[in-house]
Structure 1
Amino acid sequence: MTIRIFIDGAAGTTGLEIRERLAGRSEFELLVLEDDRRKDKSARRDALHEADIAILCLPDDAARDAVALAEGSGTRIIDASSAHRVADGWTYGFPELIGHEAIANAQLVSNPGCYPTGFLALVAPLVQASALPADWPYTVNAVSGYSGGGNALIDRFEEDQNIAFRAYGLALTHKHLPEMREYAGLTSEPVFSPSVVPAHRGMLVDVPLPLAAMPGAASATSLESGLTDHYGDSAIVKVHSHPTPPAELLLGKDAEPWDGLALHVFTGEDGTQARLIAMLDNLGKGASGAAIQNLNIMCGVPETTGLRL
């Protein structure tokens, strides 16, 4: 029996990439609204009730409205917005941290944010294992391709070739902060410094650690082994060892879609400092790829099916 899927917001960047990853998959039947009905409330309600699983690729308020429209349907939901990431009754859709079984049995799944995916992948397992302190004032320096900002930012970068770097979140508030604190098990929110570069996709999340000043922090070698042990033989999350650090890590302007997540631990010669760095595709494991991974788990098929790894 095929599983009926409705993507609410299928014309946006995340929705389009989800559709591409579902192309040719016989286990799914995609419910599609005509262009002139995509924003019709009645048509959306009918599709949400007809679907077995709905994937919401909408702004936060619209995602909340979609959940209300789906009430009483029994439809399972994957929400790619930030509306429900720390909401009661929702399962956080990061299987490598939350557990595959929790997602497999969930009615409501909230996709992680792209930046939090990198930060949490690095920090959460180490805090849980007491290799890093929960009460440290962490900082996060991160850079993303402009596609993570939606159509308006995509248009801005592609129309204004003079933009070389965009720093934002300067009021020290960001919608990603609550989930970063919650799922890393921290006592306070980190200082988050996000930025955007003129590359369509790709993301680097950098967490600097002054290990010598951090009470109870493990050595850089132990941090790397802790991450390696946590992710084991995951086909999606890979911990890279660097006996000799590379000269640089690069984001390409025309990178291909990728649904993996690469983690790195770098340290100075004296071991007093370290940098934890995650590299991912903000549209892959940071958005559409994560939605497909969660969909696979919820439907009982191998989690990497349809992913670009």
Structure 2
Amino acid sequence: MPYKVFVDGQAGSTGLKIFEYLSKRSDIEFLRIDSAKRKDAEERRKFLNDADIVFLCLPDAAAKEATELVKNEKTKIINTSTAFRTDKDWVYGLPELKNQRELLQSASRVSVPGCHATGFILTIKPLIEAGILPKDYPVTCYSVTGYSGAGKSGIEEYENSALMAERKLHVPRHYALQHKHKHIPEMLMYSGLSFEPLFTPIKANYAQGIAMSVPLVSRMLSKNASAKDVHDVLSAYFEAERFVHVMPYDSDAYLDEGCFMISECNNTNRMEIFVFGQEGNVNIMSRYDNLGKGASGAAVQNMNIMLGWDEGNSLVN
């Protein structure tokens, strides 16, 4: 018998991508709410409680409201918003972290990581666990992302030619400059750092693909660790992972005339980590699809783990 799946927030970019991933599955039955009733609390209550798996692709307040409408112990919830990412009653949906996959296997409430947080945490956590990166290191990082990361409104804004010209959206735009980006709490909580990173996100005029960059200074690392040491730790940590790949240390062949290509992992659930550096400076860069491993792909990966299915079912590596 197929599992019943309900996507609450089915018209948004994350919800639509989940439908795309799962549309050809014979072991899933989608429950589709009438678009005219998608904000009707009683109608949503019926769908939420009838489903085996619920994906919440909603703003924070609406996600919290939806969770309160679930009145049974059968329905498993996968939330894609910020609402529960630092809530200890929810399992953080980043299976590549040590011991996290086991928690997901028995979870009924899972929170999908933020797109920026995904690359940051998977870069930092292994280094702290290996004793190379001190917990009190003053970490800075920046991330460049396609405009689809801003959701449906962001997509409409960037794909409107009049707004593009009026607001000069053709050039990259730094944002969250007051250090209040919504991903920072989870970046701190799950990286193992003692203090918040200084994070600068940048939105640019292309649809999808994200690159997270974390620069480090060797003399401030434990044991004066080199870029090669950093690479070795990350390679060992992710050696057995299907979707996270540490690229060869000599990575010039993967550059385009010396330039990093952000969108090479688009339309996959793959994340690639690069370590560059010499003479005491290290730059760790990860690239992945902000709609894939950074959102909908991660949600489907978590669902597969929760239901005991093959982790890569419906996903492209």
Shorter-chain TM-score tier? over 0.9
Shift, 1:233, TM fit: 2.8
Give CA deviations for 1:113-147 in whole Å, capped at 9, x if unaligned: 00000001111111112121111110011110000
Q: Which one-letter code corresponds to 1:249 in the other structure?
A: F
Label 1:73 to 1:41 Cα distance change in 2 as closer, same or farther (>3 A).
farther
Cα 1:173–1:121 shift into 2, 3 Å = same
Q: Please state if 1:210 is matched with 2:217.
A: yes
Is the 2:213–2:283 contact (alpha carbons within 8 Å) kept by the matching residues of 1?
yes
Are the equivalent residues in 2 in contact too, given 1:133–1:216 (CA < 8 A)? Answer: no
The change in CA–CA distance for 1:244 and 1:52 in structure 2 (over 3 A counts) is: closer
Tell me if the contact between 2:209 and 2:266 (Cα under 8 Å) persists in the aligned partners. Answer: no
Contact residue 132 and residue 222 of structure 2 kept, 8 A: no
In the alignment, structure 1 residue 173 sits paired with structure 2 residue 176? no
Match for residue 284 of structure 1 among 273, 292, 309: 292
Q: Distance in 1 between matches of 2:8 and 2:73?
A: 15
- Residue 93 of structure 1 pairs with residue 93 of structure 2: yes
Worse-matched range after superposition: 213-222 or 65-74: 213-222
TM-score, with structure 1 as normaliser: 0.95
**1:72 Cα offset (Å):** 3.5
Query: Which aligned pairs between 1:249-268 and structure 2 lie closer than 5 A?
Result: 249-252=260-263, 256-268=266-278
Tell me the distance in 2 between the aligned counterparts of 1:244 and 1:113: 27
Whether the 8 Å CA contact 1:49–1:73 is kept in 2: the answer is: no
Q: CA contact under 8 A between 1:132 and 1:217: conserved in structure 2?
A: no
Query: For 2:251 and 2:300, how far apart are their aligned partners in 1?
Result: 35
Please give the residue correspondences for 1:161-240 in structure 2 after superposition, counting only pairs within 5 Å: 161=165, 162-163=168-169, 164-216=171-223, 218-240=225-247
How far apart are the structure 1 equivalents of 2:105 and 2:32?
A: 25
CA-based RMSD of the aligned residues comes to 1.5
Following TM superposition, where does structure 1 have runs of at least 4 consecutive aligned residues deviating by more than 4 angstroms?
none
Letter in 1 for 2:277: T
Contact conserved, 1:138 with 1:190, CA < 8 A, in 2? yes
Residue 113 of structure 2 corresponds to residue 102 of structure 1: no
Residue number in structure 1 paired with 2:81? 81
After superposition, the C-alpha distances for 1:26-81 in whole angstroms (9 at most, x for unaligned) are 11111111111211111111111001111100001111111111133531100000
* 2: CA distance, partners of 1:263 / 1:75: 35
Report the CA distance between 1:255 and its aligned residue. Answer: 7.9
Cα distance change, pair 38–73 in 1 and its aligned pair in 2 (3 A): farther
Paired residue type of 1:235: R
In 2 relative to 1, CA 196–110 (structure 1 residues): closer, same or farther, beyond 3 Å? same
Cα deviations by residue, 1:151-204 (Å, 9 ceiling, x for unpaired): 221122112153111110111111101110110111010000001011100000
Equivalent-residue separation in structure 2 for 1:35 and 1:244 (angstroms)? 48
Q: What residue in structure 2 maps to residue 303 of structure 1?
A: 311
For residues 296 and 244 of structure 1, do their structure 2 counterparts lie closer, same or farther at Cα, with a shift above 3 Å needed? Answer: closer
Tell me the distance in 2 between the aligned counterparts of 1:281 and 1:45: 32
Mapping of 1:63-78 within 5 angstroms? Answer: 63-78=63-78
Distance 1:226 1:21, change over 3 A: same
Equivalent residue pairs, number: 306
Task: Report the CA distance between 1:244 and its aligned residue.
Answer: 5.2
Equivalent residues in 2 for 1:12-161, closer than 5 Å: 12-97=12-97, 98-159=99-160, 160-161=164-165
> What is the TM-score of this pair, normalised by structure 2?
0.93
Q: Which runs of 5+ in 2 are unaligned?
A: none
In structure 2, the CA distance between the partners of 1:45 and 1:172, relative to structure 1 (3 Å rule), is same
Quick one: which amino acid aligns to residue 103 of structure 1? Answer: L
Identity %: 39
SS at match of 2:195: coil
Question: How far did 1:308 drift?
Answer: 2.1
Which range is displaced more, 173-182 or 211-220?
211-220
- The change in CA–CA distance for 1:93 and 1:115 in structure 2 (over 3 A counts) is same
**Shift of the alpha carbon at 1:211?**
1.3
